[in-house]
Amino acid sequence: MYLNYLVATLYLVAQASALPSVLHRQAVDFVDPRVNGGSLLDNAGSGGGEPLNVIISGLSSPDVLTDSGIVNFAKAIGFSTECLGIHLGDPQSANLGDGNGPQNQTIELRQDYGDPDVGTCLESLIGGNHFRVFRQNGPLAPTGALFLAVSQEEPATESHTIIPDGYDLGRNSFVAGAIGSKSFGGVNYSTIAQNMTNLLPVGSNGVNHGIAIDGIVTLLTVTIE
């Protein structure tokens, strides 16, 4: 009986050691997507890309990096899910260089104008800030970091195109609303920011709608207190 127990134990140990390393989250802020053939411009489906101009660090509190976690954090800083759960338009995709190749956005969240229940219906009508979420979690870079494409858009009458300078303005507004102490649903957040250069190009080359960007990506580290 002891021999059978020993054999079974050794088998379980061997099976555990064979599990892929992707199961273990890489404890870094993020991995530069370009290292493994990715980009910080997503694919907007129109020959250009939207800049992934905000990154929520993989060193943030783990609960922030989940689907429900990013939604709750978004509600704490003035964003919410889309009006009545309806999404118009095709999802955009991004290659974050994590080995998963191009992946569609996880979720899109919109400015809620002070009402997390129906406020995004107003954003859909009159425009405002919004962002798309992409998660870096493939076998080459299992960081869990969230890459956000943030931008200010025109009202529905203008087909929700991006306003002039809308990528930089959208990022700045998002970051200003995120830093410091925020709370929603009984969860308290503390957020710090760091601006980074040399991840995105400067100018309009390859950018959707030909809108020039300043090349800054803001790294946010969000801690649940």
**Could you report the per-residue pLDDT of 26-44, keeping only the tens digit for each?**
899 999 999 999 999 999 9
**Could you report the per-residue pLDDT of 107-127, keeping only the tens digit for each?**
999 999 999 989 999 998 899
> Mean pLDDT throughout 1-30?
50
What are the distances in angstroms from CA 124 to CA 43, 46, 55, 73? 22, 21, 24, 20
pLDDT band of 215, cuts 50, 70, 90: very high
Closest CA to 166 of 177, 176, 154: 154
Using the predicted structure, report yes or no on whether residue 13 has a pLDDT greater than 50: no
Q: Are 21 and 139 in contact (CB under 8 A)?
A: yes
The Cβ of residue 185 has, within 10 Å, a number of other Cβ atoms equal to: 11
Least confident of 38-47, 79-88, 164-173: 79-88
Question: What pTM does this model have?
Answer: 0.87
Q: Using CA atoms, how far apart are residues 200 and 213, in angstroms rounded to an integer? A: 9
pLDDT band of 18, cuts 50, 70, 90: very low
Across the chain, mean pLDDT equals: 88
Q: What is the pLDDT of residue 88?
A: 56
**Could you report the per-residue pLDDT of 52-69, keeping only the tens digit for each?**
999 999 999 999 999 999
- Length of the chain, please? 225
Using the predicted structure, report yes or no on whether residue 78 has a pLDDT greater than 50: yes
10 Å CB burial of residue 122 (0-12, 13-18, 19+) is middle
Q: What is the DSSP letter of 199?
A: S
DSSP string of 39-60, one letter each residue: -SB-B-SSSSB-B--EEE-TTS
In three-state secondary structure terms, 153 is strand
Residues 6+ apart with CB under 8 A from 178: 77, 191, 193, 220, 222
Distance of CA 201 to the CA centre of its chain: 19
Q: Are 43 and 93 in contact (CB under 8 A)?
A: yes
The Cβ of residue 191 has, within 10 Å, a number of other Cβ atoms equal to: 22
